[in-house]
Amino acid sequence: MMEAMRSRTTRTFLRSHSHASYPPAYRTVAAVGIVLFFLTSCRPANSILLTADEEFALANAHMKSKHWDQARERFQRILDRHPRSSLQARATLGKAESYFLAKDCLASQTEYQLFLELYPTHESAPLALYRIGLCQFKDVRRIDRDQQPTIEAATTFRKLVANYASSQYAEEAKTMLRECQARLAAHDDYVARFYIRRKAHLSAALRYGKMLDEYELSDEEKKRLETASKEQWAQWIKQKIKTIELTHKYQIWFTLAELVTALQHYRPEQALDEKTQYYYAEALYQLERFGDARREFEAFQKNHPDSTFTTDVVNRLKELAADSDPTIVKKIVGP
């Protein structure tokens, strides 16, 4: 008898709420009400706990109607009240999706990350990773600002491409990764130009080198950066050579030695010119680094046999040889 009455009531409800003139929002609410009516009408009067499947059906109905808060509440009930349900993973993902679709990127990232930690091999893991990357990309700033969000987004998209190459999101992730790299390259180029204006040629050269090493560039762009990099290295070396000459003039030996060491560190393939090598050997001698000084003077003789500094170099080598000869030391000190 009760079933027959319930059936008649349902048909009456559907007929009375199916008029085409009702607004879409009203019909959506009515649909959710019908689902809830059917799910609860067959349960005992003293029971208020829906099954996981029933909660999930209601959550999906709310998601379709864009009622994100209500959907999230239903997903949370599954997580809280049905810990052993097979719908736990889908409820966790659904909760993250409800935040994402509501444009709450901060909360959705947290939920997607939780989903990946709990279900790393789930079929929807690529989706969660892709959504995280999109949220990170949303925070990307102008090229004259800090690019940490861009770096994080690029890392996420790169991870998706590497770990889920066959995923439907892999190609989209590649596209987003290229966009991230283009923004990072534009930022680095902006910074390099700033360094050039400040005559910080080393920093500019290193920045151009970073761009050449890290980014996929067109042949034209690569050629431009290589030219710019060589120019900045040349400017930096010229700058250092000038400073080395001044430190030699005023006998600031420690600074002179540090400058040459920097040249050798950053441009090891480039030999020191005649004057710089002689100044460096002399600085080492004055700093009483006699072993290093001897090696530099000997290298100078080999590299520049006809130099105007040859006489001075020979005299220094004689002094260093005398200092290292124990018989000479004995004559000076006595028996």
What's the one-letter identity of residue 102?
A
Cβ-Cβ contacts under 8 Å for 195 (sequence gap 6 or more): 201, 203, 204, 207
A 10 A CB-CB count for 146 gives 10
Q: Which residue has the tokens 């990232």?
A: 109
Angstrom distance (rounded) from CA 124 to CA 115: 9
Amino acid identity at 330? K
pLDDT digit string (tens) for the chain, length 335 residues: 444 444 444 444 444 444 444 444 444 444 445 444 444 445 443 346 899 999 999 999 999 999 999 999 999 999 999 999 999 999 999 999 999 999 999 999 999 999 999 999 999 999 999 999 999 999 999 999 999 999 999 999 999 999 999 999 999 999 999 999 999 999 999 999 999 999 999 999 999 999 999 998 999 999 999 999 999 999 999 999 999 999 999 999 999 999 999 999 999 999 999 999 999 999 999 999 999 999 999 999 999 999 999 999 999 999 999 876 544 433 333 44
Residue 238: CB atoms within 10 Å: 11
Answer yes or no: are the C-beta atoms of 281 and 293 closer than 8 Å.
Answer: yes
Q: How far is CA 185 from CA 52, 134, 172, 222, in A?
A: 49, 19, 20, 12
Q: Which two tokens stand for residue 302?
A: 């080999």
- Predicted pLDDT of residue 103: 96
User: How would you classify residue 66: left for phi > 0, otherwise alpha for psi between -120 and 50, otherwise beta?
Assistant: left
Tokens linked to 151: 């770096």
> Three-state DSSP class for 267?
coil
| Residue closest to 272 by CA, chosen among 247, 285, 262, 287 | 262
pTM above 0.85, yes or no: no
Structural domains of the chain in order of their starting residue, each with its CATH number: 22-102 (1.25.40.10)
Q: For residue 106, count CB atoms less than 10 angstroms from its CB and return exposed for 0-12, middle for 13-18, buried for 19 or more.
A: exposed
Distances in Å between the alpha carbon of 305 and those of 56, 147, 260, 298, 302? 88, 53, 21, 10, 6
CA distance 69 to 89: 19
What is the C-alpha to C-alpha distance for residues 182 and 39, in angstroms, rounded to an integer?
52
| Residue 62 CB neighbour total at 10 angstroms | 23
The span from the CA of 296 to the CA of 264, in Å, is 13
Residue 62 phi, psi dihedral angles, 5° rounding: -65, -35
